[in-house]
């Protein structure tokens, strides 16, 4: 399907009536290449486009910005992508091109979500849906995915499921397999992160484990044929978290060793303290006491003001379990206090964001 999409756009470029039209299609091809993880080819196209765009044609400039943003996003889930999407969005507004405006707004929403600007992210996702022309299936799909993620973050699972379904329907309509992969990834990642957090606090999650495993297998199978590094880097960590929940300490640790650094390079730096704390728990349960202490110290060192509340709660809860296993009850108690405090803050954050997102969707008449 990915080769078919590339071939279709290449055919449009080849049959274009004007040079301007031809280069617009080449810019759209660069966007597709980036979404499919072929970053080198995408950037080669972008370089050629910039060489041709000496007069800074507004539409071509906007599509180049979109291609650059997508290259940043799919290479490393980089927040640098937001700058390029903002520029494309500004051009789309200025020239009243709703295709560009909606697509840029949708991708800007995706970048803002990664930067934890959740309310602004939801606002841009709603704008993308409302401004999108009927043909803009990909923009609508991405916007619904962002809204689904916002709702999943606040544990509004019923409304999140509907937006995931809408996102998938529009991705199929757009014939974009990379988007379908992203949707599957997000569904699995949110479920496993939530289960891992609950498990760290000693609460039962057995009933959801089979579904989480099935979802993870689905994205593993799909991404093996896509080669999108930024998603592929995270799949082993999701599997490590499942092994951790199942108390398969050795298997989980092996995946953490292999994958934490790579994931940090692919935009998951904020989650690194959590992953390290999970690894420290595994090492302690394996009897690797010195290694467990060293990794636990690394987890603490990586905590910053940008670490999300759920990751903080999970991090400290896992460190408490680590110190329990090491027989250090004093340290375990201190970590457990921090875990409970951050979990309470997270619950309050969820309630506030849930109310804002639901009000935004109600005002926009988007269900």
pLDDT tens-digit map of 64-96: 999 999 999 888 776 789 999 999 999 999 999
Cα–Cα dist 324/168, whole Å: 43
Residue 126 above 90 pLDDT? yes
Contact 89, 61 (CB under 8 A): no
Residue 320 above 80 pLDDT? yes
Residue 367: per-residue pLDDT: 74
Contact 86, 108 (CB under 8 A): yes
Range with the poorest average pLDDT among 52-61, 67-76, 195-204, 289-298? 67-76
Matching residue, tokens 């199929």: 172
Cα–Cα dist 148/178, whole Å: 17
Cα–Cα dist 110/322, whole Å: 35
Range with the poorest average pLDDT among 115-119, 220-224, 232-236? 220-224
Give the residue with greater pLDDT, 367 vs 319. 319
Check residue 202 and report its DSSP letter. Answer: T
* Token pair for 111: 């970048």
Q: What percent of the chain has pLDDT over 90?
A: 73
Q: What percent of the chain has pLDDT over 70?
A: 93
Mean pLDDT of 338-351: 98
Check residue 269 and report its DSSP letter. Answer: G
Residue 306: per-residue pLDDT: 87
Matching residue, tokens 């849906």: 129
Up-side HSE of residue 90: CA atoms within 13 Å toward CB?
8
Range with the poorest average pLDDT among 9-23, 51-65, 128-142, 200-214? 9-23
Classify 227 in phi/psi space as left (phi over 0), alpha (psi -120 to 50) or beta: left
> How is 147-187 classified by DSSP, letter by letter?
HHHHHHHTT-HHHHHHHHHHHHHHHHHHT-HHHHHHHHHHH
Residue 364 above 70 pLDDT? yes
Residue 177: per-residue pLDDT: 79
Mean pLDDT of 228-246: 84
What confidence category does residue 353 fall into, taking pLDDT thresholds of 50, 70 and 90? very high
Residue 9: per-residue pLDDT: 80
Residue 283 above 50 pLDDT? yes
Residue 351: per-residue pLDDT: 97
Residue 361: per-residue pLDDT: 95
Matching residue, tokens 């495993």: 213
Residue 1: per-residue pLDDT: 46
Residues 6+ apart with CB under 8 A from 94: 58
Contact 10, 1 (CB under 8 A): no
Cα–Cα dist 216/145, whole Å: 18
Classify 56 in phi/psi space as left (phi over 0), alpha (psi -120 to 50) or beta: left
Radius of gyration over alpha carbons of the chain, in Å?
Answer: 22
Residue 267: per-residue pLDDT: 58
């Amino acid at each position: 399907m990915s080769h078919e999409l590339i071939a279709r756009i290449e055919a449009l470029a080849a049959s274009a009536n004007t040079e301007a039209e031809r280069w617009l299609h080449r810019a759209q091809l660069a966007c597709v290449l980036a979404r499919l993880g072929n970053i080198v080819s995408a950037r080669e196209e972008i370089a050629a486009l910039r060489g041709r765009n000496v007069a800074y044609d507004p539409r071509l400039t906007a599509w180049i910005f979109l291609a650059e943003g997508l290259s940043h996003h799919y290479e490393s889930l980089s927040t640098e992508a937001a700058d390029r999407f903002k520029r494309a969005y500004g051009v789309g507004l200025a020239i009243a091109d709703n295709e560009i405006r909606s697509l840029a707004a949708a991708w800007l929403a995706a970048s803002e979500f990664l930067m934890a600007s959740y309310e602004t992210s939801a606002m841009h996702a709603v704008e993308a849906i409302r401004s999108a022309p009927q043909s803009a299936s990909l923009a609508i799909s991405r916007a619904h995915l962002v809204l689904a993620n916002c709702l999943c973050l606040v544990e509004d699972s019923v409304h999140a499921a509907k937006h995931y379904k809408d996102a998938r329907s529009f991705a199929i309509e757009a014939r974009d397999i990379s988007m379908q992969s992203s949707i599957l990834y997000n569904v699995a990642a949110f479920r496993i992160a939530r289960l891992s957090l609950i498990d760290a606090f000693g609460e039962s999650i057995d009933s959801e484990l089979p579904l989480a495993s099935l979802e993870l297998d689905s994205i593993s199978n799909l991404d093996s044929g896509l080669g999108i590094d930024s998603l592929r880097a995270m799949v082993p960590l999701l599997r490590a978290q499942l092994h951790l929940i199942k108390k398969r300490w050795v298997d989980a640790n092996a995946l953490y060793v292999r994958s934490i650094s790579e994931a940090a390079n692919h935009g998951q730096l904020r989650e690194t303290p959590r992953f390290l704390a999970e690894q420290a728990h595994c090492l302690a349960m394996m009897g690797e006491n010195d290694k467990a202490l060293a990794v636990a110290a690394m987890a603490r060192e990586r905590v910053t003001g940008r670490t999300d509340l759920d990751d903080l709660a999970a991090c400290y809860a896992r460190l408490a379990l680590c110190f329990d296993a090491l027989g250090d009850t004093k340290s375990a108690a201190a970590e457990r206090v921090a875990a409970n405090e951050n979990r309470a803050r997270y619950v309050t954050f969820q309630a506030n964001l849930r109310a804002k997102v639901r009000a935004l969707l109600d005002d926009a008449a988007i269900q």
